[in-house]
Amino acid sequence: MLIVTPTDTPLVQKMGLDGSAMPMKPMPVEQCVGEGLDGLNRNRMIIMPGLFFRIMNRLVPHGLVRAMTGNMMRKSTTFVS
């Protein structure tokens, strides 16, 4: 299972968000894909790209993460399906 972390894709701009103003800066696509493929090659069951995101996942309460994600989604100007 690949856990999606904020990645610098056109979707960020399409949602009306500014990657540079986000609390957690989106990682480059190349880094996300590289770490995901490396995890697959190592037969990892769970892959979370980005050391910073792995650390934050351990330290920040999940309720706060959900609230931050909800706020970010509410601020987006375009719904993407």
Predicted pLDDT at 80: 54
Predicted pLDDT at 81: 52
Global pTM reads 0.63
Mean pLDDT of successive 10-residue stretches along the chain, which has 81 residues: 78 75 82 92 90 84 81 64 52
Predicted pLDDT at 8: 84
Tokens of 69: 């994600």
Q: Where are the domains of the chain?
A: 10-75
Predicted pLDDT at 15: 75
